[in-house]
Amino acid sequence: MADRVNPAGKDKKGVFFAKNKKFMKNGTGRERWTDERNDGEKPVMRDGAGKSVMRKSGEKPAIKDGAEKPMMRKSGEKPAIKDGAGKPVMRKSGEKPAIKDGAGKPAMRNSGEKPVVKNVSGGLSCPVSRMCGGCSFTDCSYSAQLAVKEGKVRELLKGICPVMPITGMENPYYYRNKIHATFQYRKGGEIVSGIYQEGTHRVVKVDSCRIEDQTADAIIGTIRSLLKSFKVKIYDEDTGFGLLRHVMIRRGFSTGEVMVVLVCASPVFPSKNNFVKALREKHPEITTIVLNVNDKHTSMVLGERNIVLYGKGFIEDRLCQLTFRISPNSFYQVNPVQTEFLYGKAIALAGLTGKERVIDAYCGIGTIGLIASANAGEVIGVELNRDAVRDAVLNAKRNGITNVNFVNGDAGEWMVESAARGLTADVVLMDPPRSGSTEAFMKSAVQMKPQRIVYVSCNPETLVRDLKVLKRLGYQAEAAYPYDMFCWCDHVETVCLLERLSN
Ligand code: SAH
């Protein structure tokens, strides 16, 4: 079999290209790179009338109370495999537990640091929450919300594996490092910005949001105020007339770098140099401005073409002591405070000793694999989005990491090809989008005979489905750890450890 399969070629920049690279199809049948984020963001969706609408998944949670208790665990310690009828744990935003491995290399954080336990009793107190619909837990305390989320994971994983206490945030506000805004004319020509009201194509005016970065919100306000004087017309979804469709802003919380992406229906932006100058005068913190061209009738926010108007066209941020570049179309976790804890847990569960071959599937810009590489023999990252893979390769270079390679292609296809040519792995780390993984991926993963699989999931429903498949294939889920990455929204992230059953 091995000679039939040529798993990947390598280009000059060191990017591997998987054979039979496949594009995903979106709802309109057009080709696109997957832009499906698992970041809890509100997708632009279409209602029956073909209008763009922002929708949330809706139902009001049952409110239960949950008093927090600290969960203490030592660095690298195996999880206690029993069902902790657990209480949520709170993590503090600024907490930076630097964990060094024996060789003094930066290692990953794990769950060993002492949690700060504090009751965040207030609700969201957002004046537009009812109209906006982006958040689900608007009327209950944060601790009650954590208890609901933990309960949901516990319920779904009943009979599959124990669920540990959810890890919450000490300060669950203004945590999103990425925001989108859309614009609309009101009667009299006033321009408002915000998000589409649930089930409609009316933009709910949101001048400041309790979960979004405040610098980003202020920049959106400035852009809105500049549009008229620069004669920038707002794009109309129905007529296709106008220019500006969305604005996306990303801020590196630890570097302070700010990227503004103007998503436009055409590459021709009136007086673009003066617009950039006026925006930068008000916001000197902006480090790059990009014009993204989205000329398709699509529900995807971003198009494929980026024109750099100012700066380097990407931002950098630091996570777990490494520096990562992030391009406009690349995925990057939206809650970096919680991400450090999530990654720390995922890598601790991988039980690395420095020798292992690790596969980081659905790797995005390479974050998990690059952080894990300090404690692994070799890491192979696989990712569908071409821009993300380019970032990942440059991220390895930027951090002086030489034991990691990246493959650009469909993770399932690459796994099938690689397993067929006899590739083995000691650990498979997988972090698929909300839709979860595929049977083909999982069948091939088990053919590689990893001792452990660490599954990072942003959707507990597809996690359960996939854990059942993996069980059938000989991998037992040992424990699951929920993380609150999307405070006030109904998504919940979970890390799950699976071990290989002996034959
Ligand atoms: N592990 C990364 C990314 C997780 S998000 C991080 O923590 O940042 C899921 C990633 O899977 C996205 O980058 C998305 O582009 C990618 N993806 C989606 N479908 C894929 C597929 N079929 N094959 C490979 N990657 C895919």
164 occurs within a structural domain:
no
Which protein residue's CA is at the shortest distance from atom 15 of ligand 1? 385
Cα pseudo-dihedral 503, 359, 254, 42, rounded to 10: -80
Residue 361 to residue 430: CA distance in whole angstroms:
5
Q: Is the pLDDT of residue 404 over 60?
A: yes
CA distance 493 to 341: 12
| CA 489–ligand 1 middle distance (angstroms) | 21
Evaluate if residue 65 carries a pLDDT over 50: no
How many structural domains compose the chain? 2
CATH number of the domain where residue 193 is located: 2.40.50.1070
Q: Which domain range does residue 437 map to?
A: 2-24+329-500
- Other CB atoms within 10 Å distance of the CB of residue 153: 23
DSSP letter assigned to residue 411: H
CATH number of the domain that 364 lies in? 3.40.50.150
| Distance in Å, CA 431 to ligand 1 centroid | 7
Query: How many A from CA of 415 to the centre of ligand 1?
Result: 14
Q: Mean pLDDT check: name the lowest of 136-140, 456-460, 496-500.
A: 136-140
Q: Are residues 307 and 425 in the same domain?
A: no
CA–CA distance, 111 with 128 (Å, rounded to integer): 36
**How many C-beta neighbours within 10 Å does residue 183 have?**
22
This model's pTM is above 0.75: yes
Assess whether 265 and 345 both reside in one domain: no
370 and 405 housed in the same domain: yes
Report d(CA 348, CA 78) in Å as an integer: 8
Residue 382 lies in a domain: yes
Domain end: 282, 298, 319, which one?
319
Residue 180: pLDDT over 90: yes
Q: Are 111 and 103 in contact (CB under 8 A)?
A: no
- Residue 68 maps to a domain: no
Where does a domain end: 254, 285, 319?
319
In a domain, 303, yes or no: yes
Q: State the average pLDDT over residues 128-150.
A: 90
In a domain, 47, yes or no: yes
Q: Which two tokens stand for residue 290?
A: 């990009």
pLDDT at 296: 93
**How many CB atoms neighbour CB 187 within 10 A?**
5
Q: Best of 17, 20, 331 to mutate for ligand 1, by most ligand atoms within 8 A of CB?
A: 331
Ligand 1-lining residues (CB < 6 angstroms): 34, 38, 331-333, 362-364, 367-368, 382-385, 388, 410-412, 431, 433
Residues 257-294 have pLDDT tens digits of 999 999 999 999 999 999 999 999 999 999 999 999 99
**Distance, CA of 347 to CA of 369 (rounded, Å):** 9
What are φ and ψ of residue 24, in 5° steps?
-90, 150
Residue 191 maps to a domain: yes
- Looking at residue 62, its pLDDT comes to 31
Q: How far apart are CA 153 and CA 165, in angstroms?
A: 10
Confidence of residue 94 (pLDDT cuts 50, 70, 90): low
Q: Do residues 482 and 336 share a domain?
A: yes
Residue 481 lies in a domain: yes
State in Å: Cα 98 to ligand 1 middle: 27
Q: Given 269, 298, 319, which residue is the final one in a domain?
A: 319
What is the distance between the alpha carbons of residues 78 and 479, in angstroms, rounded to a whole number? Answer: 10
Residues 353 and 256 in one domain: no
Q: Which two tokens mark 313?
A: 């066209």
Predicted pLDDT at 121: 58
- Asked if 148 and 62 count as a contact pair (C-beta separation under 8 A), the reply is yes
Token digits for 40?
């809890």
CA–centroid distance, residue 123 to ligand 1 (Å): 32
Same domain, 308 and 352: no
By alpha-carbon position, which residue is closest to atom 3 of ligand 1?
Answer: 364
362 with 287, same domain: the answer is: no
Q: What are phi and psi of 214, to 5 degrees?
A: -75, -30
pLDDT of 118 > 80? The answer is: no
- Pocket perturbation via mutation, ligand 1, pick of 15, 384, 387, 416 by most ligand atoms within 8 A of CB: 384
State in Å: Cα 278 to ligand 1 middle. 36
458 catalytically annotated: yes
Across the range 239-255, mean pLDDT stands at: 96
Separation CA 121–CA 33 (nearest Å): 41
Same domain, 251 and 378: no
**With 60 as the cut, is the pLDDT of residue 398 above it?**
yes
| For the CA of 35, the nearest atom of ligand 1 | 15
Strands 31-32 and 24-25: antiparallel
| Residue 87: pLDDT band with limits 50, 70, 90 | low
The whole-number pLDDT of residue 475 equals 98
Ligand 1 centre distance from Cα of residue 350 (Å): 19
CA-proximal residue: ligand 1, atom 10 (nearest): 362
Confidence of residue 92 (pLDDT cuts 50, 70, 90): low
401 and 355 part of one domain: yes
Ligand 1 atom at shortest distance from the alpha carbon of 458: 5
In a domain, 167, yes or no: no
Query: Does residue 105 register a pLDDT over 80?
Result: no
Q: Are residues 410 and 284 in the same domain?
A: no
Q: Is the pLDDT of residue 476 over 70?
A: yes
Write the CA distances from 267 to 107, 290, 295, 306, 308, integer angstroms: 43, 11, 9, 9, 11
391 and 292 part of one domain: no
Minimum-distance ligand 1 atom for the alpha carbon of 388: 13
Rounded to an integer, what distance in angstroms lies between the CA atom of residue 441 and that of residue 424? 14
Question: Which runs of E-coded beta strand occur in 320-396?
Answer: 322-326, 357-361, 378-383
Do residue 288 and residue 358 come from a single domain?
no
d(CA 131, CA 376): 48
Parallel, antiparallel, or unpaired: how do β-strands 322-326 and 203-205 relate?
A: unpaired
What is the atom index within ligand 1 of the atom nearest the CA of 410? Answer: 23
- Write down the pLDDT at residue 298: 84
Residue located nearest, by CA, to atom 11 of ligand 1: 362
Q: Which of 458, 487, 489, 496 is catalytic?
A: 458
Identify the pLDDT of residue 95.
56
Answer with the residue of higher pLDDT: 58 or 441: 441
Q: Which residues contact 300 (CB under 8 A, 6 or more apart)?
A: 26, 32, 35, 44, 294
